[in-house]
Amino acid sequence: EPRTVTIAQTGKVFDAPGKDSVLNEALAAGIPFPHSCTVGTCGTCKSKLISGKVREIMDSAIALTSEELRDGYILACQSIARKSLEIGVVGLSDMPDHMLTHAQGKISTQRALTHDIIEICLTLDTPLEYSAGQYAELRLADVNGPRSYSFADAPSNIDRRRATFFVRHVPGGEFTDWLFSADRVGTDVSVAGPFGDLWLRPSELPILCVAGGSGLAPIKALLEEANRQGCSRQAVFLFGAREQQDLYCLMEANAISESWSGSFAFHPVLSQEPPNSAWTGERGLVTNALSRLPEEFLQSCEVYACGPPVMVNALEDALREVRTGSQYFHADRFVTRI
Ligand code: FES
C-alpha cells in the first residue's frame, strides 16, 4: 500500500515511500516545509506525529526536549515513514507557503552596482511569488547547472512578473564571466523558486541583519518588506565589504534607516579600506563590529545573515560566545560556483 504523509494543518498530502527523510520527501514533492540544518540539531522541522510510525535516522533527543519526545514530536529531517503518517508541522503557521514556480524570463535591464557586482532585472512569463529573503535558481541554455541568487526587491514593491538579482563576478566562473563580458539584455533565463529559509519570522524581538558582498540582496529585500509593513522592532544592520568601492545600495539602506518606525542603526563595515583614507565609518570584520553592540541586544536578537560562508560561520561562532541554541539564527551561505 503506497505510503503518504498528510500535513494536518493544510491537508496537503505527499508520497513518502520511505527511501528518504520525511523532510526530503516533502521538498521533493514541492511542498514547503520549515527546515534549516537538515541534520537533526536545530529543531526547525519539528512536527507532532498524529498517526503512523517512523524510524529515526539519528537520535532526535538533541533538538527535542524530553516532554516533546514523550508527546510524540519528531524531527522530519531525521524520520523515515514506516507507515502512512499524519503530522502537525510546528513551524508551518509562520512559514511562507508559495508554490514552487518554474518561469521563463528575459533579462530586461543590466547595470553595474560596483566594479564586480551587477544588478539584473528579469521579466517573467509566469508570476512568481516569494517572501523577502528567499532565493531562486537561474539557468541559462549554455551554462551547466543552476546558479542560486536571492531576490533583491521586497516582493510587495514589484509586480510578480519581475525579479531582480545581484550577481558578483567570480573570475573563471562560467555564468558570471558570460554575464560580465557584454550587455546581456534580451537573453533568456529560466527561473525556479522560491527556495530558502531566510524570511522574517513574526516576533517582537530585536533584529540583527548582517550582509556580506552580494549577500546584501536578501537582507535589503527583507528589511524593505518589513519597513513597508511598518515594522517597529529594534534593528541593527551591518554591511560588510572590503573597501569603499565595494559598497552599494547605500541610499536604499539609508532610506530604510530613516523611515523605520523603531530604532534602526545601519553600519557599513570595511575590512580592507586603506588606513589613510577619508573613511570615518567602522573598520574591521563584521564580527568585530558585533563586539561593539550591547550584550543584551546580542543575547535577545533574531539574526538574519547572508554572505560568504567564512563570514556567516564566523558570525555564528561569535554569537555562540554570548548565547546558546541556534533557533534565532537564519542564514544563507553563498557558495561560489564556477
Ligand atoms: Fe531538522 Fe534542523 S532541519 S532539526
Ligand 1 centroid from CA 32, angstroms:
14
Grid coordinates of 130: 516569494
| The last residue of a domain, from among 68, 94, 120 | 94
Q: How far is CA 61 from the centre of its chain?
A: 27
Q: What is the β-pairing status of strands 46-51 and 73-75?
A: antiparallel
What number does the ligand 1 atom closest to the CA of 37 have? 2
Does residue 338 belong to any structural domain of this protein? no
Q: ipTM score here?
A: 0.98
Residue 45 inside a domain? The answer is yes
Q: Which of 195, 230, 261 is the last residue of a domain?
A: 195
Separation of CA 75 and ligand 1 centre (Å): 6
Task: Find the 76 Cα to ligand 1 centroid distance in Å.
Answer: 7
22-34 residues labelled b (16+ CB within 10 A) or e (exposed): bbbbbbebebbbb
Rounded distance from Cα 200 to ligand 1 centre (Å)? 18
Q: Are residues 169 and 261 in the same domain?
A: no
CATH code: domain of residue 268: 3.40.50.80
**pLDDT for residue 338 is more than 60:** no
Q: Identify the sign of the CA torsion 321, 325, 327, 328.
A: negative
Based on the structure, what is the number of domains in the chain? 3
Atom in ligand 1 nearest the alpha carbon of residue 60:
4
Compute, in angstroms, the gap from residue 331 CA to the centroid of ligand 1.
14
Three-class secondary structure of residue 284 per DSSP: coil
Is residue 47 a contact partner of residue 5, using CB atoms and an 8 Å limit?
Answer: no
Q: Is residue 200 part of a domain?
A: no
Average model confidence (pLDDT) across the chain: 91
Co-location of 21 and 63 in the same domain: yes
What lies within 8 Å, CB to CB, of 215 at 6+ separation is: 150, 305, 306, 307, 308, 311, 332, 334
- Assess contact for 315 and 291: CB atoms under 8 A: no
d(CA 194, CA 133): 10
High-pLDDT (> 90) share of the chain, %: 69
Q: Range of 134's domain? A: 101-195
CB 243 within 8 A of CB 283: no
Residue from 35, 47, 57, 92 to probe ligand 1 pocket by mutation (most atoms less than 8 Å from CB) = 35
| Ligand 1 atom with the shortest distance to the CA of 34 | 3
Q: Which of 94, 123, 143 is the last residue of a domain?
A: 94
Residue 286 belongs to a domain: yes
- Residue 37: its pLDDT value, please? 80
Asked if 71 and 121 sit in the same domain, the reply is no
Residue whose CB lies within 8 A of the most ligand 1 atoms, among 38, 87, 90, for a mutation test: 38
pLDDT digits 0-9 by tens, 117-151: 999 999 999 999 999 999 999 999 888 888 999 99
For residue 245, the 8-state DSSP code is: G
| Per-residue model confidence (pLDDT) at position 337 | 58
> CB within 6 Å of ligand 1 — which residues?
35-38, 40-45, 63, 75, 77
Gap from CA of 48 to ligand 1 centroid (Å): 14
Give the ligand 1 atom nearest the CA of 38.
3
Residue 34 Cα, ligand 1 centroid: separation in angstroms?
A: 8
Residue with CA closest to ligand 1 atom 4 = 40
pLDDT digits (tens, 9 = 90+) for 301-332: 999 999 988 999 999 999 999 988 777 898 88
